[in-house]
Amino acid sequence: MLTLTDSAVSAIRSLTSQPDLPAETGLRIMAPDEGAPSFQLALAEAPAADDQVVEEGGARVFVEAAAAPVLDDKALDAQVNDQGDLAFRIADQADRG
């Protein structure tokens, strides 16, 4: 199952704790569209019926069923660059840090 780094937990909690969002909001990861280079991420108020739900440290991630097998042994990480832009990346769980 996908795991979350501490940085990812913090970033997701920050994104989903906005006052205008429901408390159950999470980050949804969807399989890439045909020809797209990466997974799609979006805030979602609830998981879809067949989503895998990952909860760590108050952060919720909804993994689309089509993406779950690919992400099964991966870790979601988040980093903020010098300009303050947030970027998520997917790494092997052994590479978590």
Question: Token digits for 71?
Answer: 């992400």
Give the span between the Cα atoms of 4 and 18, in whole angstroms: 20
**pLDDT tens digits for range 40-75:** 999 999 999 999 999 999 999 999 999 999 999 999
10: domain CATH number is 2.60.300.12
Helix residue spans in 1-97 (DSSP H) = 6-16, 68-71
Question: Token digits for 43?
Answer: 């805030």
Q: Which domain holds residue 59?
A: 3-95
- Find the mean pLDDT for residues 75-93: 91
Give the count of domains, the chain: 1
The Cα-based distances of 71 to 1, 49, 52, 56, 67 in angstroms read 7, 18, 11, 16, 6
Give pTM, 2 decimals. Answer: 0.89
- Find the mean pLDDT for residues 14-34: 92
pLDDT of residue 34: 80
Q: Are 23 and 46 a contacting pair, CB within 8 Å? A: no
Flag whether pLDDT at 4 surpasses 70: yes
